[in-house]
Amino acid sequence: MESFLSFVHEWGYIAVFLGAIVEGETVILTASALSSLGYLDFYKVMAITFCTTVVVDQGLFLVGRRYGPTFFEKFPKLRPRADRAFKLLHRFDRWFILVFRFIYGIRVISPIVIGAANIEHKRFTPLNILSAFIWTTISCYSGYAMGDMLESLLKNLEKAEHYFMLGIGAVVVLIAAYWWWKRRKRL
């Protein structure tokens, strides 16, 4: 428990930064929950989350503007997700830019698609900032509200660790017994 808390104190804000770069809702929710328990500063978590997500999505937008559709030719595995994002962008336009962060599976690819679709900077940037603000607020306050649950989990961590080790031991014994039974049956 002490090692986990020292990790949080030393690396918590870096984890928030890294979590906000990728689809890191779990990291943001956890950091916000820890902030409700006093281990991290809630407003720092929000600020890091907001700034990082805005900058990363602006950067991905610029990648899409620079390389356009040829980007997806270089990375054909991304094409199905990009096609889905293109369809949603053409159908919902501004609304898609506001909510792409909330759509599982296409969150990271969407700013590239938006840039590749030649959406203007002056249209994308304010919507990106507003969207990041909404996403950050919802994610951080949701995590903050879950702080009580996390506190009870941390208090019971030692018990959970004991039961977890018992469970692993039982699984190992069952696998060994099954292997022995199969081997004996073949003979």
- Supply φ then ψ for residue 146, to 5 degrees: -85, 5
Of 50-54, 156-160, 173-177, minimum mean pLDDT range: 156-160
Across 65-81, average pLDDT: 91
Tell me the domain boundaries of the chain.
2-155, 157-187
Euclidean distance between CA atoms 107 and 23, whole angstroms: 7
Specify the pLDDT at position 158.
Answer: 65
In this structure, how many other beta carbons lie within 10 angstroms of the beta carbon of residue 169?
Answer: 10
Specify the pLDDT at position 80.
Answer: 93
Q: Give whole-number Cα distances, 75 to 17, 79, 80, 111, in Å.
A: 26, 7, 11, 16
Euclidean distance between CA atoms 35 and 146, whole angstroms: 10
In the predicted model, is pLDDT for residue 187 greater than 70?
A: no
In the predicted model, is pLDDT for residue 1 greater than 60?
A: no
Of 91-95, 130-134, 142-146, 168-172, minimum mean pLDDT range: 168-172
Euclidean distance between CA atoms 49 and 180, whole angstroms: 52
Specify the pLDDT at position 88.
Answer: 92
In the predicted model, is pLDDT for residue 66 greater than 80?
A: yes
Specify the pLDDT at position 45.
Answer: 95
Across 63-79, average pLDDT: 91
